[in-house]
Structure 1
């Protein structure tokens, strides 16, 4: 039987073992490309792959689980084993990862008293149920049972959030009792009180996350251990992520990163974050909030060793060279044929305004006061709030009270104002001119915050209400729009200018290949390809094109639907072979 142990070092079958790992999030890569990415990881010299596990995808609605298709974690683990890779699994349940709500499912917030990441009873009950289901799914993939999982992580960067050690011990106990047999680790930044706050050394090996000064931080970690234990950088940050509104795509120095990699491997073990970032498909991007809301873009390229679309970069070769100083580099033939294609331009087929197809997309839910997305049982997307607001008169005090994240306000289906983040709640003044007037507010969930103190306040929609001339207005219809049913859009209905609308394009192609849709001239929204949501776009940038993996296309007719909220659209779309993330250098490699 194969064994893996943590003593003064890592031991595989009782022999010292240096973990050389890279991060790939299976849920950010189409499953048809899992093997390709894992083969490239092995060919760089890595012996291990690390992945988070997103609770919010595997339990999208309470007690409803999904481990199918792109969420077939066991299939990912088995492919990794076939390629020759061990696995570090990080089920957490909190993952951060620049992922929507840090991996927490939205429905936790249906408890108005919910406290996250501490021993709040209702939170612990839901965690226990989920972890039992998850570990039952992957238990046989542990190295103790002939699989390839060698480590599991308890929580994630907990020392940067709180210091409830009873919570950490409870998680470890739940995981053990649910069937987790391999050694446990924790990971935290090595600065401040993070190691002290987030570690349970008697149950899990403390490791550290950082991107520079690794030799110095190893000394801090060794001092924290107080005895000879293995040193490991669980997240060696070699790039960074982009937020909407950033001036440019973030990149880092390959030479500097390679130097730090050498230091990490000289002193211990390493997991490279990210080896391959992938894509925030659909509405899965997270957000940060410090001075203001900063939602992440659709691409999770991260300036990683593989690009978002899987090409090897010069940084890949630099890292491969360093790794070759510590281990033999294998040569596995790449088994997945991947190509890119510029399909050219395609003319608009159909268009319809949101207002004229609302009834086909959602049944209105009526209530006296406004309801949040969580109260409506909705995780992602938009809500359209609609109400009648009476006769012609001046409105001298109009306010949205406690709402998130971006609200577009209409009177009689004509745009009045758009408020985003800190602008929401600003007073508006306007005149109603019709005998009877209708108010509509389209609110978009831009991605729940995935890190730090704002996490417990991530309801979306309008929480407290709408003030009209100094008083809360009552009597609302809610159209929940998760946008997962666009086959119901009625393109035979009317379209009108300068309002949110759906735009349909039919693409006839003879072969499938990776491609990129250019959204220059479009305002804000998202794109679906044959029913699959490839992600958000926004003219604010820096991302201007969205990645379409070949497996989401088909020979013959393909249907692309774009939902756009600003009234800015084009009569054609262009599919090109070139991305637009900024300066991204790739290697031309035959596959």
Structure 2
């Protein structure tokens, strides 16, 4: 048994000064069979602690559930941290940001009439209490004073950038303490005076988030917290990527200099990220500061371990700097091996529109129901209505969230994209039906648009006249790999393609999508995530544990068009250009 306390200038572990050297690993972004490897490599860089967020929306896809199987087995993850001889920091939110869909808040929250997010609003407080109690049933027995690894727990997340409801923060503390969490509690905010003031409470230890000018940032933090250890809870040693932009990197020298400044003054640090991992499936978030910008599938983050878990130049530079202040193991992880290189032709198997009835139940309404009204948390909804006898003209939508493919009698007419502020398109020919396939490209994870609705928002008009009588079909595309596609027909719309390929043994793979359009891909039923010709990312990471010796199967949902219908697996990651 041990104890971590807040001292006059340091964290104290059993009464002795302790410098926390932590790295962020999001268990939900890493295949569970690879957790131990990533944790071990963190220790080899000289770290003594692992930090993780907890995603409410992943654990509780429906209210009353708390899923802990497979990649969501938080207890197993924390026990692996302990087995490596390391400590743990848990940050359960309930809001986590993390460039994760909706900042971790479950979409079913949005369907509660009158709910107010991140406020002391009774309905929200009741829901988050249920969630936190479920998290803490796992965390409490694994605290350091009971022989476990957890020695810090965070309250909320950068709350000073969002609100200033002290009653809300106090309620989070009450729920946490009543759930038998006895370790010190922390907050995190950017070292901005207003944010620090709004996001803190007496009795909570303040930490900061930054990636440069460490001495200056710590000085600001010290003004608000004259005593106690200095900690950068999010040391931004890289950054995330968005579709249509470049691959963000920070130089080794800049990041290493900022790290040295933190350690030199005795500060504690949590690398955000030590290893980013992947936004598998449709879990990526988005930003909207006047323009909607969804995030890519890769969460490589230019981190010390790359997306595939291989050490980078930053790993070795940070390891050398840490060694100036703390013991570092002699073992050094080897470079990542080249992955198997192969290619196989993809065969068109079926049209997505023709499979709609097998992927979801249609619902009729006078208007085009939103995702929230349909209970569709993410993915796709197919909207259809009759325009029999109507003259062709301009189809206008009040707002698209987020990307809409328009069909006239099943024939593609064009695309309306939120990120391009497009909401009208001309229908050149008279038609019987209009179909609109809408994709949620990622829920906003930061700022005032957190928790917004998805789908077709507002009124839809043809030649200025409202269109009514809509059928909406929520599509569960995760069912596609399990469908029998033999004998199906294709059409002019989105297409499902498949292929089989052989491996001598399970192995990490890197699927090159540069010649594809936009869509999703699965290997052996595992959703690798979204791809898009817009880039910058050109590869989808295939974790070795989802592959097998012998025959493997790939399924691709291509929403637009492939220049080359071939599945190519290449030697390594291709994350795109680093500047325009």
- Asked if these proteins are the same fold (TM beyond 0.5), I'd say yes
Say if 1:444 and 1:461, in contact at 8 Å, map to a contact too. yes
Task: Specify the SS of the correspondent of 2:443.
Answer: coil
Q: Deviation per CA, 1:253-299: give whole Å up to 9, x if none.
A: 11111111111112211111111011000001111111311111100
> Aligned partners of 2:30 and 2:337: how far apart in 1?
16
Aligned to 2:555: 561
| Ranges in structure 1 where 5+ consecutive residues have no aligned partner | 585-591
Distance 1:277 1:235, change over 3 A: same
Say if 1:406 and 1:424, in contact at 8 Å, map to a contact too. no
> Aligned partners of 1:394 and 1:323: how far apart in 2?
67
Distance 1:345 1:428, change over 3 A: closer
> Aligned partners of 1:424 and 1:197: how far apart in 2?
34
Aligned to 1:453: 448
Aligned to 1:369: 367
Aligned to 1:46: 47
> Aligned partners of 1:238 and 1:448: how far apart in 2?
25
> Aligned partners of 1:261 and 1:478: how far apart in 2?
52
> Aligned partners of 1:66 and 1:521: how far apart in 2?
37
Aligned to 2:411: 414
Say if 1:404 and 1:460, in contact at 8 Å, map to a contact too. yes
Q: 1:179 offset after TM fit, Å?
A: 2.1
Q: 1:300 offset after TM fit, Å?
A: 0.4
Say if 1:186 and 1:198, in contact at 8 Å, map to a contact too. yes
Aligned to 1:254: 252
Aligned to 1:589: none
Q: 1:539 aligns with which of 512, 533, 539?
A: 533
Task: Specify the SS of the correspondent of 2:562.
Answer: coil
Aligned to 2:280: 281
Task: Specify the SS of the correspondent of 2:477.
Answer: coil
Task: Specify the SS of the correspondent of 1:16.
Answer: strand
Q: 1:431 offset after TM fit, Å?
A: 4.2
> Aligned partners of 2:332 and 2:273: how far apart in 1?
22
Say if 1:385 and 1:440, in contact at 8 Å, map to a contact too. yes
Matched, 1:6 2:16: no
Say if 2:381 and 2:474, in contact at 8 Å, map to a contact too. yes
Aligned to 2:391: 393
Aligned to 1:292: 291
Q: Deviation per CA, 1:162-186: give whole Å up to 9, x if none.
A: 1111111111111111221111000
> Aligned partners of 2:486 and 2:533: how far apart in 1?
25
Matched, 1:579 2:573: yes
Distance 1:232 1:466, change over 3 A: same
Distance 1:363 1:569, change over 3 A: farther
> Aligned partners of 1:40 and 1:520: how far apart in 2?
31
Q: 1:495 offset after TM fit, Å?
A: 1.3
Name which of structure 1's ranges 571-580 and 76-85 shifts more when overlaid on structure 2. 571-580
Distance 1:301 1:286, change over 3 A: same
Aligned to 2:206: 206
Q: Deviation per CA, 1:181-204: give whole Å up to 9, x if none.
A: 11100000002411001011x231
Name which of structure 1's ranges 502-511 and 534-543 shifts more when overlaid on structure 2. 502-511
> Aligned partners of 1:244 and 1:522: how far apart in 2?
15
Aligned to 1:176: 177
Aligned to 1:496: 491
Aligned to 1:552: 546
Distance 1:363 1:27, change over 3 A: same
Distance 1:368 1:214, change over 3 A: same
> Aligned partners of 2:335 and 2:190: how far apart in 1?
39
Say if 2:400 and 2:423, in contact at 8 Å, map to a contact too. no
Q: 1:570 offset after TM fit, Å?
A: 2.8
Aligned to 1:511: 505
Name which of structure 1's ranges 112-121 and 169-178 shifts more when overlaid on structure 2. 112-121
Q: Deviation per CA, 1:386-434: give whole Å up to 9, x if none.
A: 1211125233x42122330111111101111211115556333334435
| Ranges in structure 2 where 5+ consecutive residues have no aligned partner | none
| CA RMSD across the alignment | 1.8
Matched, 1:163 2:130: no
Aligned to 2:233: 234
- After TM superposition, the structure 1 = structure 2 runs for residues 139-150 of structure 1, keeping only pairs within 5 Å, are 139-150=140-151
> Aligned partners of 1:379 and 1:61: how far apart in 2?
10
Aligned to 1:587: none
Say if 1:360 and 1:489, in contact at 8 Å, map to a contact too. no
Distance 1:176 1:13, change over 3 A: same
Task: Specify the SS of the correspondent of 1:230.
Answer: coil
Aligned to 1:154: 155
Task: Specify the SS of the correspondent of 1:156.
Answer: coil
Say if 2:139 and 2:150, in contact at 8 Å, map to a contact too. no
> Aligned partners of 2:204 and 2:299: how far apart in 1?
29
Aligned to 1:403: 400
Say if 1:398 and 1:427, in contact at 8 Å, map to a contact too. yes
> Aligned partners of 1:419 and 1:425: how far apart in 2?
5
Name which of structure 1's ranges 474-483 and 439-448 shifts more when overlaid on structure 2. 474-483
Aligned to 1:244: 243
Aligned to 1:106: 107
Number of residue pairs the alignment of both structures matches: 575
Q: 1:496 offset after TM fit, Å?
A: 2.8
> Aligned partners of 1:156 and 1:349: how far apart in 2?
46
Say if 2:240 and 2:300, in contact at 8 Å, map to a contact too. yes
> Aligned partners of 2:449 and 2:342: how far apart in 1?
43
Say if 1:362 and 1:481, in contact at 8 Å, map to a contact too. yes
Task: Specify the SS of the correspondent of 1:167.
Answer: helix
> Aligned partners of 2:462 and 2:112: how far apart in 1?
29
Name which of structure 1's ranges 355-364 and 420-429 shifts more when overlaid on structure 2. 420-429
